[in-house]
């Protein structure tokens, strides 16, 4: 393990999480101005076998994938292969069905397309057939007028963006990640893991799910949001969120539950999921690989600086129709909000269900990755990751 003396407090926080029983296995990495200053890992990768977490142990990181997928599409936009402001139907004609002819690529990247749910249950046999799932979405009507509101497209984001990528390039997001991002930068990061990687991937462990999941900020602070309903939100957003989490027919659960990872033994640990490479929730990575992705963004190796600046400009900010709490998005990247509570307004990135988080901060030259296998009961990030991130900023 490696930790620059300036970041000794980060190592203390990391070690305390294990001492207090909050972690099973985890890793945390930080680049500062392109230099790897923190590279920590510890614990157990598989509680059933006792297999230790090694330096190169990867793990499934859920929605941290969305930022990687966004970078794939933005690279295509740089080349003129995709116009972010143009209708999706320009490259995917079937998508225009049922009133979606004006839905733009930007609407998809910013969760404004009105398609947060696959309406018909996706059979397990289709889990690795991305075009088939995309075709289901193409045949649906939006749940709200595209562009009029935003709601987290937890899984559908990837099938929509992924199909745009496939129509333009003839290949998948995962193949482009391997050939143009992870491969050239030497990153331990896969959207669709090969069998040798699956064999050494850490196994996720679920925590008690008896209560509704919440964003990390709410998880830690017992937060209750009691703003007036002038914007249409209920006065107690968390109470409404709790009701939605317990209602199997709520938009939240419909968005999170189809395709149903739970249909496979072991859930996200199942080889089908690890191999499928869903572009919204399919990345398998180490902390160093995730942080290295953001280092590549900040260095200009993956996107031109002007492309990144434009991608980070917030497009939506406020009440989320799926998650209830406020979210903020640029073009595929989370911006600071209650669901992505960062110490700096210049931070961007994406968290993953249960706790993983990847972020970059161009003003401070920071690129950070945190992954773990003990899932928190949180939709977005968890307190362990937030404490580590805060310790990094405190060290500056």
* Residue-range domain boundaries for the chain: 2-395
| pLDDT for the residue 259 | 97
**Is the distance from CB of 80 to CB of 102 less than 8 angstroms?**
no
Spell out, as residue ranges, where the chain has pLDDT lower than 70.
207-238, 378-381
Residues 6+ apart with CB under 8 A from 137: 95, 115, 118, 156, 159, 160
| pLDDT for the residue 377 | 78
**Is the distance from CB of 223 to CB of 236 less than 8 angstroms?**
no
| pLDDT for the residue 220 | 41
Nearest to 224 by CA among 243, 210, 208, 238: 238
Domain 2-395: give its CATH architecture: 3-Layer(aba) Sandwich (3.40)
Active-site residue, from 63, 250, 328, 380? 63
- pLDDT tens track for 330-386: 999 999 999 999 999 999 999 999 999 999 999 999 999 999 999 997 666 689 999
Residues 6+ apart with CB under 8 A from 285: 58, 59, 61, 64, 187, 188, 189, 190, 293, 369, 371
What's this model's pTM, rounded to 2 decimal places? 0.93
Helix extents (H) in 172-286: 173-176, 183-185, 195-200, 216-221, 237-246, 251-257, 271-276
Number of alpha carbons in the 13 Å side-chain half-sphere of residue 216: 24
DSSP secondary structure code for residue 378 in this structure: B
Q: Is 63 marked active-site?
A: yes
| pLDDT for the residue 247 | 82
| pLDDT for the residue 225 | 33
């Amino acid at each position: 393990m490696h930790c620059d003396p300036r970041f000794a407090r980060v190592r203390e926080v990391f070690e305390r999480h294990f001492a207090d029983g909050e972690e099973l296995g985890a890793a945390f990495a930080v680049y500062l101005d392109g230099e790897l200053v923190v590279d920590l890992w510890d614990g157990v990768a598989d509680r059933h076998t006792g297999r230790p977490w090694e330096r190169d142990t990867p793990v499934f990181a859920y929605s941290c994938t969305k930022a990687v997928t966004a970078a794939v599409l933005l690279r295509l936009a740089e080349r003129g292969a995709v116009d972010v402001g143009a209708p999706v139907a320009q490259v995917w004609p079937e998508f225009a069905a049922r009133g979606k002819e004006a839905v733009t690529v930007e609407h998809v990247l910013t969760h404004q397309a009105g398609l947060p749910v696959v309406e018909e249950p996706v059979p397990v046999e289709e889990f690795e057939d991305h075009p088939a799932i995309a075709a289901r979405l193409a045949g649906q009507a939006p749940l709200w007028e595209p562009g009029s509101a935003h709601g987290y497209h937890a899984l559908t984001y990837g099938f929509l963006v992924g199909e745009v990528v496939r129509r333009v390039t003839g290949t998948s997001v995962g193949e482009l990640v391997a050939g143009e991002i992870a491969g050239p930068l030497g990153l331990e990061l896969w959207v669709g893991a090969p069998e040798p990687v699956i064999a050494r991937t850490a196994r996720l462990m679920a925590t008690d799910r008896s209560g509704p999941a919440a964003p990390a900020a709410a998880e830690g602070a017992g937060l209750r949001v009691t703003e007036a309903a002038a914007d249409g939100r209920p006065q107690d957003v968390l109470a409404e969120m709790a009701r939605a989490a317990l209602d199997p027919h709520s938009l939240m659960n419909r968005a999170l539950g189809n395709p149903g990872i739970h249909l496979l033994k072991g859930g996200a640990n199942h080889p089908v999921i690890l191999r499928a490479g869903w572009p919204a929730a399919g990345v398998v990575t180490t902390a160093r690989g995730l942080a290295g992705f953001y280092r590549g963004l900040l260095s200009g190796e993956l996107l031109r600086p002007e492309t990144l600046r434009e991608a980070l400009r917030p497009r939506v900010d406020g009440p989320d129709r799926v998650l209830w709490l406020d979210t903020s998005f640029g073009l595929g990247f989370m911006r600071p909000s209650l669901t992505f509570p960062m110490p700096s307004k210049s931070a961007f990135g994406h968290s993953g269900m249960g706790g993983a988080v990847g972020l970059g901060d161009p003003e401070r030259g920071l690129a950070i990755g945190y992954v773990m296998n003990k899932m928190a009961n949180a939709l977005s990030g968890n307190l362990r990751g937030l404490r580590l991130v805060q310790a990094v900023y405190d060290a500056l």
